[in-house]
Amino acid sequence: MVSGLPVLRAATALRLAVPVRAYATAAFFPYQESRTKFSDRKEYVFSRYERIMGTSQAVIMFEFDRVSVSLMNAIRHQLHKAKMPEEDLALLQKQYGVWDAPTASLDVARIGLLRAVCRKSDAEAVRKFGDYLSGQTMILSVPVLSPKYLGDVLRAIDRPVNAAAREAEATSKPVPSIKPVLALVERERIIDAKGIPALTKLPSLPTLHAQLVGLLSAPGSQIAGILSQAGGGVLAATLDARRRDLEKAQEAPSS
């Protein structure tokens, strides 16, 4: 009988000799949905994804390749420098009080956990967002839909990525890339990559509110102007002219 110990040792040696790099974003296993207990780290990440998908008014999905740790640090540094407009920050603070967390965050997604969060959501658009999760994915989350700020944030991501790409091309190294795939807006609608630039050109929410108030108040101001005019001699002159017209009509011979 051949002992199984040499075979086991050979298999172990072969496994150690072949370098294997596993990505947490590479696959999703069904057991992850049926699991009842997470490790402390996974529990933290799962809770973070629940907060992001439950409160963020804009979540943008990116696919990425060849992004180094130094490039990721440069991107986050640029994100930190992007400042949300005061009027949008006021809305954020009105809703949550003093806001001491970053106003935008970029995370490398753990697909299994994030997809599980999306699937249990009560919002159809969030569940649909989860269906697109695959491969190496990042998510950019913004708590308030501020078009100007969102545009600044996207440019903050592009700057270090473009610089790293130019450097890689000059030295014949692999070129890094981060490309938007789609956006989840206000947990209600999905926008594809082509529509994201248009999203950054919309008026801010306070501006839209001001425009709406202007539209609603315009008819009222016109009525108020008419009434103010009618309160004086204009009304008397109008009524007097109408009286004369009626008198003329009565004096005219009937045909």
Is 113 within the bounds of a domain? yes
In this prediction the pTM is 0.66
Residue 61 belongs to what H/E stretch? strand 58-65
Helix axes 40-55, 111-119, angle to 10 degrees: 50
Q: Is residue 122 classed exposed, middle or buried when 0-12, 13-18 and 19+ CB atoms within 10 A define those classes? A: exposed
- The side-by-side arrangement of strands in the sheet containing 137-142 is 105-108, 137-142, 58-65, 177-185, 189-192
Domain that holds residue 83: 39-208
Q: Report which DSSP code applies to 195.
A: G
pLDDT band at 214 (very low <50, low <70, confident <90, very high): low
Which pLDDT score, from 0 to 100, does residue 234 have? 53
Is 240 within the bounds of a domain? no
Residue 108 belongs to what H/E stretch? strand 105-108
Q: Report which DSSP code applies to 30.
A: T
Question: Of 67-71, 74-78, 109-113, 244-248, which gets the smallest average pLDDT?
Answer: 244-248
Is 100 within the bounds of a domain? yes
Token readout for 100 is 């001491």
pLDDT tens-digit map of 107-136: 999 999 999 999 999 999 999 999 999 999
**Measured in Å, how far apart are the chain's first and last C-alpha atoms?**
132
Task: Report the number of distinct structural domains present in the chain.
Answer: 1
CATH number reported for the structural domain that contains residue 190 in this entry: 3.30.70.1730
Is 81 within the bounds of a domain? yes
Is 246 within the bounds of a domain? no
Among 152, 184, 193, which Cα is nearest to 55's?
184
Which pLDDT score, from 0 to 100, does residue 10 have? 43
Is 232 within the bounds of a domain? no
pLDDT band at 169 (very low <50, low <70, confident <90, very high): very high
* Cβ contacts of 166-173, under 8 Å, gap ≥ 24: 168/66
Instruction: Tell me how far CA of residue 118 lies from CA of 60, 127, 130, 182, in angstroms.
Output: 14, 5, 5, 15
Is 71 within the bounds of a domain? yes
Is 173 within the bounds of a domain? yes
